[in-house]
Structure 1
Amino acid sequence: MVLTIRLTRVVDRVISPYQTAFIPGRNILEGVVILQEVLHELRSTKSTGVILKLDFEKAYDKVSWSFLEEVLLRKGFSEKWIQWIRHAVQGVRVCIDINGERGSFFRSFKGLRQGDPLSPLLFNLVADALSAMLSRARDAELIQGLVENLIERGLTHLQYVDDTIILLKFSPRCLQNLRVILSCYEAMSGLKINFEKSEVYTVGLGEEDQRCVTETLNCKLGSFPIKYLGMPVSDQRITKAQLTYVNDKFEKRLGTWQCDYLSSGGKSTLIDSCLSSIPMYTMGVYQLYEGNFQLLDTVRSRFYWQGTGKKRKYHMIKWEALNRPKEFDGLGFLDVRVMNICLMAKWIDKLEREDNSLCCTILRNKYLGQKSIFQIKRRQGSQFWRSLLDIRDWYQRGRKVTIRGGHQTRFWLDCWLGDCPLNVMFNNLFQIATKPDIEVFEVFENGQWQIQFRRQLNGILRDEWIQLQTMLSEVTLTEERDVVVWALEKSGKYSTNTLYRLMTFGGIRDIQMMRI
C-alpha cells in the first residue's frame, strides 16, 4: 500500500496524457469525449481515418517482469525502487482452486496480481511503452495520426488500462508499419493481441480500401457505433434507441430482486442507492432523450408502488411529486433530468478553469480558441458540444469571474462586478446599450471605460451611469486570463450537488410562491 501511495503521487508525470486510467486528475470519460470529437471532425471535414480497437488476451496475466523492470529503469526510477517493485511482484506464490479444492503452491514467472492496488499503476507503465512507440513512430513519420489541426502532430492512440484505440490516416504503408510496431511490442512486453476479437473501423473509405485495412491488420471490420469503455461512440448522432441500454440495465437489475414484502422505506433506499445511480455514467457524456427519461421514471415509479410483482397497483402520487426534496414534502428521489444537466456542466467547468488535459485541449482548439464557451454564438459541432451549449445557462447561475484581462468575460451578461450580472443591476442601461454582448476588454479604452448607448442619458439613466462608473473605477485590467470560480461553494470549486440543489430547490420555491 505504501508503494501504491508513493507511485500515485508521481504517475501523472511519467505516463503520457493518452492514458486516462487510475491517474489523479484524469477521467475515464475523457477518452469517450475525445473519440467522439475525432470521429465528428473526420466526418465534418470529409477526411479518411482508420480506428483500430485492440483486444489483449488476459492482459494482467501475461506481463513480462523483465520488461516491467526495463520500463521502470527507462522512466528514471532508482535501483532501490525497482528492487521494491521486484519483491512486491515476484515474491508471491499461487495455487489453483478447483471446485473448492486447492492444489499445492507454486511460483509464477510473469503477470500482475489482479486486485492488488499496485497492479493497475504498474500495468499503466507497461502500456505506456506502447504509447511511446506509437508517438516515436509518428514523429519519425512511420505512421500518421488523425486531426492534426486539433492536436500537434496528430492523435495516434487512446488508452484506458488495456483498452487501446489506435487512430491513423489511411495508408498501406502506415498500416504495415503499425503491424510491425504491434508485433515488436508483443515480443517485448509478453502481452498478446487477439486480432480475431479486435475490430477495425473506417471513416470515408471505399470497399477496396476497407479490404486492404482488414487484410493488413488481420482483423474484422466493425460498424458504428463503437462500444468504447461501455459507451456507444459514432461518427453520427447517437439515437434514443442506442441509449436504451441504460433502461435495459434498470430492468436487468430489477430482475434479480425479490421485493414483494419490502416496506416503502426499503424500496426508497434501493431506488436511491442502486437504480438512480445506474444512468450516472452515461449522463456524464450524453444528454438523454425525453423518452429515455420517461422510461427511467416509469421503472422507478412502478418499483416503488408495486415492487417486482406483475400485479399492477394504483400510483397514489405522481412521480414528479416524489422527486421533490424532503424539505418540500417529497421523498428526495433523484431527478434524472436535472442530474444530467449537473453532470454535463462539469465539462464546462473544466473548460472554464483552463484544464490542460488532452480532452480540454482538443475542445478548445476545435471550438473556443481564446474565448469562453459563453462567448460562442454558433450552435454547430458534435452532439456532445451542442449539449454543452444547451446547458451552459444553468452553469452560469453559479459562475463568477475574477476579472484579469477581460478577454473571456462579457461586460453585461457575466457576473464579474458585484453579486450578479450588470444587466440585472443596471437593466435600464442594458436595454439601450448598442452592444449587449460586448467583452470587458472592449469597453476599457485608453485607460477609460467607454460604453455606447442608443440615446442620450437623462434622469434615472444618468444616475445609474454615474453609479456604474463609480463601481468601474475600482477595476484594473491586466494581461492575465480571467479566473472563473463557482460562487455556490466556499471553496470556489464546482459541485454537482450545489447546482442540483439550486435547480430543484429554486424551482419548487417558485412553484409554491405561484400557488400562494
Structure 2
Amino acid sequence: MWDHLIQTSKDTNIPWLVTGDFNAYCLPEEKLGANSPASLRRCQRFCSWINQAELIDLGYSGPRFTWYRGETQATRKASRIDRSLCNVAWNSTFPNSSVQHLPKFHSDHLPLLTSVGNQHNTDYGNRDNFKFEAVWLTDNKFKDFLAANWNKEIPLQQALKEVTPKLQQWSKEVFGSVNRKKRRLLARLKGITDRLAVSFNPGLLKLQLKLEGELDWVLAQEEIVWFQRAKEKWATLGEQNTSYFHHQATRRKRRNKILALRNANGDWIDDQESLLNMVLNFYTTLYTEDGDQYEDLMPKNVFPRLQQEDSMALHRPYHISDIHKAIHDMKPYSAPGPDGYQAIFYQKFWPIVGKNLADMASSYFEIGEIPTETLDSTIVLIPKMEQPESPAQFRPICLNNVALKAITKAITNRLKPLMPKIVAPTQSGFIQGRQANDNILLLQETLHTLRRRKGKKGGLVIKIDLEKAYDRLRWDFIRDTLKEVGLASSLISRIMTCVERNKMRISWNGQLSNPIIPSRGVRQGDPLSPFLFILCMERLAHKIEQAVEAKLWKPLQLSKNGPKLSHLFFADDLVLFAEAEGSQIDIIKRCLDDFCSSSGQRVNHSKSAMFVSPNVRRDKAARLSSRAGINLTADLGRYLGITAINGRITKARYKELLLKIQNKLAAWKTRHLSMAARVTMVKAVTSNIAIYPMFSELLPVGVCKSIDRCNRSFIWGEEEDKTKLHSVAWEHLTQPRHQGGLGIRPTRRTNQAMLAKGAWKLITDDQSLWVEVLRKKYGRGKRDLQMLAKSKGSSHAWKSFAQTANLLRKGAAQNVKNGRKTNFWLDTWVLQEPLLAQATTEIPMETRQKKVADYWTESSGWKMEDLNQLLPIEVLNKIRAVKLDPLSTTEDKLFWKASANGVFNTSSAYKLEEQQQNNHSSFQWRKIWHLQVPERVRLFMWTAAKGRLTTNSIRKFRHLTSEDKCALCGTEIETNLHCLRDCSKIRRVWEKIVPITQQQQFFSANQEDWLKTNLESNENSGETGEWASFFALVSWYIWKHRNDYIFKAIRLSNYTLINYIVSKAKDWISTWKKAMETRDSLTKPAREEQLIGWSPPQPGWSKLNTDGAAQGNSGIITAGGVLRDSEGDWIAGFVCKIGTGSAILSELWGIHQGLELAWRKGIQFLILETDSKLAIELINKRSDPVHPHATLLDSIRRMLAQSWIVRLVHTYREGNRVADWLSKHSLVYPFGTYELDELPTDLERLLREDMIGISFPRQVIIDGSNE
C-alpha cells in the first residue's frame, strides 16, 4: 500500500487525503508501553515514507493515542498509529482542515473525524484586526502618503489611531488586493494564450510580455505577503518561494488552532466557547497572586556593589538615541502587539514617526507617565508539545506594542553590560559572554565524574522543574530584588510600571478573550523579562551559597583543586549538585522552600528528576528519592535540548537528532522551493539543529555522514533508496563559492570548527566556570596549547577538544604589547609563520632567543639597521606597521590571527580546517555570484560553468536516455555549449543581440573561454544593463525553452522564439531591479541624497582631518592629515608612509599621528574627523585586548584621555578631501612621518573650496537618532 501511495503522489497534482491505520508511528513519544519501548528505526522508516510521498500530517485534537490494548498497568500498550495525511494541494485548497480523535467504542482503535472546516478567504486584505503589511512598502508613494497623514504634534497612540483607518482605506482603494491583481492578470494572459494558439499576432505577443512582467511584480508582492506570515528566519525574498511560504503559514495556523482540550476532570472539551472560558479561567488564575503573606526569606546585601561608573551609566538620562537604537535592534517583522504595528514601521519611517515615540518615551522616563493602551498586550499560546491536551501545556507569549518594547529594550540595553558583574558564573542564560553550552558541558562533566566515582561518598544531581516560572513570579519579590541590586528608586518605579500596569487578552482561534488583569508574573516576550527573572533567580543562588559557606550544603568537586559545584541555572532550568546524603536532601528542600515562599515559584516534583552515582546503594538511593519527593532515574534525559551522555558515545544516541533533521528537510518542501532556497535552507537547518552537540562532542563519523546524506538528498530532491541524478559531486558542492562550490559545509569539518571554539576558550578564557573546572581536572596547571592532550579516563568532551590542538596551532599567534614575552624569531606574531622561516641568512642560536622588545627603541621605533640584512623587504615592511609599547605592563597574549578582530570565530576556523586543494581554474567564480539576477539563475550559470547541465549527452552517459542528439535541431550531440549557443535554432537568438563585430569571437570560443569572457564582461548594454547579467538571463531562458520543448511539448517558431527570449530577458532586467529595490526597502535602512562638504569648527576650536590609504590588499599603507582653525586656515599637516598592512591599520595610524601633531601644537579643543566608521567604533570600545592593532588603539585612547577636549566625529569622503590627498601623496615619501608646516601648493585649490563651503551630493542613511 505504501508504495502505491508514493506512486499516487507522483501521478496526480489534485488535492487528496489518506486516513486510517498505518500501523506505524513518527515519534518515540507516540508509543506507550514499558515492555516494548519505541523503535527509532521504525520512526525513521515511517517518516521517510511520508517524505517520499510528499505528504503532510494534519495533526489532531483529543487523546494522544489512537490504539490501546491491555487491561492492567503492566500490560497496557498504546500508540498513535492512525492519522490523516494530505498532499500539498489539499493543504492549499482546504487550509482549515482538522482531525479529531473521537471516543473509543467497541474497538481498540479510536475513530478519526477529519473536517475541511470553513474555507474562508485568506487574503491579507480581509482581516478584522489591523496589521501593518510589509507589502505596502513596495509602493513608492506609500512614504509620501504616510507623511501627509501623520501628525507629529500629538501623542503616539492618538497618531496611530488616526492614521490606521486611513491606511486601511488606502490599502483598499489605492493599493488593492494582491490576489485580485493576480487573478485578473492570469485571466488576461489565458485569453491571450488562447488567441495566439489560433493565430499569431505580434501586438498580442507584445502585450503578453508586458502582462507577464506585471505578473512577475505581483507575484513578488504575493511572496512578501506570505513571507511575512510564514515567519521563516532562514528564507530570503525574491526567489519565488511563495507556495512554500503559503504552506508554512497554513501549517502554523493549523498547529496553533486549538480544537479540544481536557478539563480538570479529564473530560475532553471541544465546544469553542467552553474551551475559551476554560483557558481564560486557567490563565486568570495563573496570573493572580495566591494571597499568601509576602516575606522575603532570601539573604540580603549579597549582590556585588555597583561601581560608580556602572551606576552612572545605568542611571544617566535617557536620550532619543537610546530609543532609536532599541527600535533598530528589533527584528523588523516580529509579531506586533495589539496596535498592529511591527518594528519595520518605525525603522523605515523614523524621520516621520520617531518624534512621537521619543516624546512618549521621554514623558515616561522623566515623570513616569505612559498611556494605558501602550501597556496592553495580546497573549498567544504556543504549544510546548506536538499535541497539547491541557492549558498548562502551552507557553503564553505576550505580544507587546513596539512602543513599549522600545522602552523596555532601552532599559535592557543599559542592564546587559552589568549582568556579568552582578550574576555569578553559575547562571548562563541571557548573560553576555555566556552560553547554554557552558551549563551543558558542566553537567556532562559532572555525570562523567559521578559514573566513575568509587568509595563510600556518593554524589547526586537533581534536575528541578519550576512550574510556569515566569508567570508565577511575585511582583514584591521583583521590587525587592531590584533594590538589592542597587537600582535607583526612580528606575525601579519605571520598571515596575511596565511589569504591573498591563492588561492582557488571549488570542483564541482568531478572537480576543476578555481582559486579564494580572497581579503577578512577568511577560514572556518582553525584552526586559528575562533579565528580571535572572536577577530573581540569583537570589536562590545566594541562598545556596550561604548554605555552602555555612558547610550545610556539601557541593561536588570534580578534581582535587577544582571549584565546587552546588548549582547551575539557565533561566528556569535548574540543576543542583550535592553529596548523596539525607541531610543534603533536607537542606536542598529548605533552600527551595524558602525561595518558593518568597518568589511565588512552585517546584513540579513529577517533572523533576534525581540521579545518584553508581557507588550509592540502591536502597539508600530509593530513600533519598522518597525523602526529596523526586523520581529517581538512571538517565536525566534532555537538558537544554541535549541528551545527557550516559555511557559510550554511539550513533544510536543521535537518532533523535537525525530524525529531527530529516523531518525539517521533508520531501514535500523540495517541490515548493527553488534549488537556491534548498541550498540556503540546508545551511541554516543543519547548523541550527546540531549546534549544541557539535560544540562539545565529536560526533561519530556515521552520524556526520548521515547528516550529509540528508542534506544531499534534500538539495537534489532525492528519496530514500531511490537515487536521483546529482549534477555536481558532493565534494564540489562543499567547496567555497569563490573556488567553484556552493559553500555547503560538511558536518565533520563543521563539528571540528565548533569544537575548536570550545578548545580556544579553554586556553584563553579567564571568566567561564566550565573552563576553570576542565583546566583543573585535566590541564595539569597549564593553560596553553600544550594543555590540550588526551589523557586516560578523560571525558568525551575533553577528548573532543584535545583533537583540535593542531587546528588551533594554525590559527594562533602572539599579540605583542610590550614585546617582552614574545620570541622575535621563533613565535608567530607578524606573519602566518615564525620569522625564522623567512630569514635570508642563518640566524645564530643566541640571536634566535631574542624577544620582540629587543628590536625596538622608544625614541626611534624598530631597529631596522639590525634587521635589514636578515629579512626580505616585504617582511620588514610588515614589521614597520606594528606598534610596540615597551612601557606597558600588559603582557603579550594569544590572539586568533585567522579573524580580522583577533577574536575566535567558527567561520575562520572552518576555513583553516578546510585545507582545500589549490583551485587551478582561472575562472572567476565570484563573478557568477555577483550577477544582478535571481539566485536560481546564478545557480544555473554555476552549473553551466561546471559543465554539468543535464543535457542529452550526460543523460545518455547516465543511462537515463538512449538518445544523445539535440531535441531542437536533431542533428548534433547535445553538449552544454551546443544547447546554449551552437544549436542552429539558438544561434539565431545570439545573432540578434551580439554585435556583428564581436560574433566571430563569440561563436568560436570554447565553453570555458565563452562563459569566462561573457560573465566577466563589465560592458553596459544600454536598456539591458550590464552585459554579464543580460547574458546569464538569455542563457537561462534558452535552457528553460529547451526543457519546455522536451518535457512540455511547447513549440515556438524561430521568430517567436527569438523575440520571446530576448524580450523576457529584457523584462526580467527591469523587473528584477524593481524587486531588488523592493527587497532593499524591506530589509535595508532608508537613504536620501544630502550635500556633503567640509565645515569649519566653532570659534576657539580646531579641526583635525585624517585619512589612510592602502595600495591594494595588504600593500603599502600610508596616512595623512590636516589641522585647521575655525576660519579654515592651515595650521599644520602631516604625511606618513607606514609599511605593509590593511586599510583599517592605515586609518588608525593616521588618527594616531594626527593626535600627536595636534598635541605638539598645543591644541586644547579639537574635533577629529575621519571617514572610517570602523576606526571610530574600535577606538570607542573600552577594551579589545586581542585585536591585532590593540597596542595602537590603546595608545590612541591614552592620547584622547590627556588634558584636552577631543571629539571624534565621522564624516564622508566628500568632507575629507584634503586628508585624502595627503594620505595618497605620502607614497612618494620615504618610510616615516613628516610634518608639513607650510601648505603644499597642489592643495591650495582643495583648501579654498573647503573654506567657501563647496559640497557634493551623496546618498546617506537616514538616521534621525539625534533629532
Q: Shorter-chain-normalised TM-score: which range?
A: 0.7 to 0.9
Query: What secondary structure is seen at the aligned counterpart in 2 of 1:30?
Result: helix
Query: What secondary structure is seen at the aligned counterpart in 1 of 2:460?
Result: strand
**1:304-453 alignment, distance < 5 Å:** 304-306=715-717, 312-376=723-787, 378-380=789-791, 381-402=794-815, 415=828, 419-421=832-834
Give the Å deviation of 1:22: 0.5
Asked if 1:34 corresponds to 2:442, the answer is: yes
Native 8 Å contact 2:428 2:439 kept in 1: yes
CA distance in 1: counterparts of 2:901 and 2:830, whole angstroms: 19
Residue deviations 1:119-165 (CA, integer Å, cap 9, x gap): 10011011111111111111111110001646777210000000000
CA distance in 1: counterparts of 2:780 and 2:837, whole angstroms: 29
Which range moves more in the overlay, 342-351 or 471-480? 471-480
CA distance in 2: counterparts of 1:196 and 1:413, whole angstroms: 61
Within the candidate set 615, 634, 638, 1:223 is matched to 634
The equivalent residue for 1:498 is 908
Native 8 Å contact 1:51 1:200 kept in 2: yes
Residue deviations 1:324-343 (CA, integer Å, cap 9, x gap): 12222222212221111111
Query: What secondary structure is seen at the aligned counterpart in 2 of 1:213?
Result: helix
Native 8 Å contact 1:306 1:312 kept in 2: no
Native 8 Å contact 2:753 2:906 kept in 1: yes
Asked if 1:60 corresponds to 2:470, the answer is: yes
Amino acid at match of 1:6: R
Asked if 1:158 corresponds to 2:568, the answer is: yes
> Structure 1 residues 336, 237: closer, same or farther in 2, change over 3 A?
same
Give the Å deviation of 1:373: 4.1
The equivalent residue for 2:594 is 184
Native 8 Å contact 1:15 1:128 kept in 2: yes
Amino acid at match of 2:806: D
> Structure 1 residues 161, 261: closer, same or farther in 2, change over 3 A?
closer
Give the Å deviation of 1:417: 7.8
> Structure 1 residues 260, 51: closer, same or farther in 2, change over 3 A?
same
Give the Å deviation of 1:322: 1.4
Native 8 Å contact 1:257 1:308 kept in 2: no
Residue deviations 1:426-445 (CA, integer Å, cap 9, x gap): 9xxxxxxxxxxxxxxxxxxx
* TM-score, length of structure 2 as denominator length: 0.36
CA distance in 1: counterparts of 2:820 and 2:763, whole angstroms: 13
Asked if 1:464 corresponds to 2:874, the answer is: no
Amino acid at match of 1:252: N
Asked if 1:201 corresponds to 2:611, the answer is: yes
Within the candidate set 508, 511, 514, 2:917 is matched to 508
Asked if 1:233 corresponds to 2:644, the answer is: yes
Native 8 Å contact 2:789 2:802 kept in 1: no
Asked if 1:22 corresponds to 2:435, the answer is: no
The equivalent residue for 1:6 is 414
> Structure 1 residues 276, 377: closer, same or farther in 2, change over 3 A?
closer
Amino acid at match of 1:487: K
Native 8 Å contact 1:232 1:238 kept in 2: no
CA distance in 2: counterparts of 1:365 and 1:55, whole angstroms: 30
Which range moves more in the overlay, 117-126 or 410-419? 410-419
Give the Å deviation of 1:51: 0.3
CA distance in 1: counterparts of 2:465 and 2:892, whole angstroms: 44
> Structure 1 residues 125, 256: closer, same or farther in 2, change over 3 A?
farther
The equivalent residue for 1:242 is 653
Give the Å deviation of 1:183: 1.4
Query: What secondary structure is seen at the aligned counterpart in 2 of 1:356?
Result: coil
Give the Å deviation of 1:419: 4.2
Native 8 Å contact 1:199 1:221 kept in 2: yes
Asked if 1:264 corresponds to 2:685, the answer is: no
CA distance in 1: counterparts of 2:491 and 2:468, whole angstroms: 27
Give the Å deviation of 1:109: 0.4
Asked if 1:129 corresponds to 2:542, the answer is: no
Give the Å deviation of 1:42: 3.1
Give the Å deviation of 1:254: 2.4
Which range moves more in the overlay, 262-271 or 4-13? 262-271
CA distance in 1: counterparts of 2:495 and 2:673, whole angstroms: 50
> Structure 1 residues 259, 489: closer, same or farther in 2, change over 3 A?
closer
Give the Å deviation of 1:409: 8.6
**1:62-77 alignment, distance < 5 Å:** 62-77=472-487
The equivalent residue for 1:214 is 625
Native 8 Å contact 1:260 1:307 kept in 2: no
CA distance in 2: counterparts of 1:362 and 1:405, whole angstroms: 31
> Structure 1 residues 391, 254: closer, same or farther in 2, change over 3 A?
same
Query: What secondary structure is seen at the aligned counterpart in 2 of 1:260?
Result: helix
Residue deviations 1:89-132 (CA, integer Å, cap 9, x gap): 00101123444332332421001111001110011011111111
Gaps in structure 2 of 5+ consecutive residues: 1-408, 855-885, 923-1267
> Structure 1 residues 419, 307: closer, same or farther in 2, change over 3 A?
closer
Native 8 Å contact 1:61 1:113 kept in 2: yes
CA distance in 2: counterparts of 1:262 and 1:153, whole angstroms: 51
Native 8 Å contact 2:753 2:909 kept in 1: yes
> Structure 1 residues 312, 119: closer, same or farther in 2, change over 3 A?
same
Amino acid at match of 1:354: D
Native 8 Å contact 2:430 2:530 kept in 1: yes
Give the Å deviation of 1:467: 7.0
CA distance in 2: counterparts of 1:107 and 1:256, whole angstroms: 46
Gaps in structure 1 of 5+ consecutive residues: 427-459
CA distance in 1: counterparts of 2:443 and 2:660, whole angstroms: 24
Query: What secondary structure is seen at the aligned counterpart in 1 of 2:556?
Result: coil
Which range moves more in the overlay, 160-169 or 375-384? 375-384
CA distance in 1: counterparts of 2:548 and 2:415, whole angstroms: 29
Native 8 Å contact 1:254 1:308 kept in 2: no
Q: How many positions carry a matched residue from both structures? A: 477
> Structure 1 residues 285, 473: closer, same or farther in 2, change over 3 A?
closer
Native 8 Å contact 1:375 1:408 kept in 2: no
* TM-score, length of structure 1 as denominator length: 0.84
The equivalent residue for 1:446 is none
CA distance in 2: counterparts of 1:263 and 1:84, whole angstroms: 49
Identity percentage of aligned residues: 28
> Structure 1 residues 222, 336: closer, same or farther in 2, change over 3 A?
same
Amino acid at match of 1:509: N
Within the candidate set 576, 581, 587, 1:171 is matched to 581
Residue deviations 1:268-318 (CA, integer Å, cap 9, x gap): 222223344332232111111110011011111111222569864233433
Give the Å deviation of 1:413: 8.1
Larger RCO, structure (CA 8 Å, separation 6 or more): 1
The equivalent residue for 1:293 is 704
CA distance in 2: counterparts of 1:74 and 1:487, whole angstroms: 43
Which range moves more in the overlay, 15-24 or 358-367? 358-367
Within the candidate set 481, 484, 487, 2:894 is matched to 484
Give the Å deviation of 1:84: 1.2
Native 8 Å contact 2:665 2:710 kept in 1: no
Give the Å deviation of 1:489: 2.2
Give the Å deviation of 1:473: 6.0
Amino acid at match of 1:415: T
Amino acid at match of 2:436: I
Amino acid at match of 1:472: K
Query: What secondary structure is seen at the aligned counterpart in 1 of 2:557?
Result: coil
Which range moves more in the overlay, 405-414 or 175-184? 405-414
CA distance in 2: counterparts of 1:341 and 1:13, whole angstroms: 32
CA distance in 1: counterparts of 2:589 and 2:687, whole angstroms: 44
